[in-house]
Amino acid sequence: MFNRLSTELVNMILIIGVILLIIEIAFFHGGLIFSLFFLGLITYFGWKKYHRFWAKIIFWIGIIGLVITILNMMAVRFILVAAIILFLMNYYRLRKNPERITPQFQEMNTADSEPLFKMKPLFRWPFFGDQKTTESVYSWQDINIHGGYGNRIIDLSNTVLPDEAIISIRHFVGNVEIYVPYEVEVSILHSSLMGRAQIFGHQQIKVFNQSFLYQTEQFHQNKPRVKIITSILSGDLEVKRI
Contact 83, 67 (CB under 8 A): no
Contact 59, 165 (CB under 8 A): no
Give CA separation, 51 vs 65, 140, 151, in Å.
Answer: 21, 34, 17
What is the model's pLDDT at position 124?
Answer: 65
Mean pLDDT over 151-172 rounds to 89
What is the model's pLDDT at position 19?
Answer: 83
The answer on pLDDT for 128 being more than 80 is no
Q: Output the pTM of the full model.
A: 0.57
- Closest by Cα among 135, 141, 134 to 161: 141
What is the model's pLDDT at position 105?
Answer: 47
CA distance 235 to 34: 18
Most confident region among 5-19, 74-88, 123-137 by mean pLDDT:
74-88
Kindly indicate the confidence band of residue 225, based on its pLDDT and cuts at 50, 70 and 90: very high
Largest CA distance in the chain: 68
Number of alpha carbons in the 13 Å side-chain half-sphere of residue 62: 20
Mean pLDDT over 109-136 rounds to 65
Mean pLDDT over 54-64 rounds to 89
The answer to which of 3-12, 30-39, 46-55, 68-77 has the lowest mean pLDDT is: 3-12
Mean pLDDT over 111-137 rounds to 66
The answer on pLDDT for 36 being more than 50 is yes
Kindly indicate the confidence band of residue 23, based on its pLDDT and cuts at 50, 70 and 90: confident
CA distance 85 to 53: 42
Number of alpha carbons in the 13 Å side-chain half-sphere of residue 63: 10
Residue 75: CB atoms within 10 Å: 19
Enumerate the domain spans of the chain: 2-96, 131-241
What is the model's pLDDT at position 98?
Answer: 62
Kindly indicate the confidence band of residue 126, based on its pLDDT and cuts at 50, 70 and 90: low
CA distance 62 to 56: 10
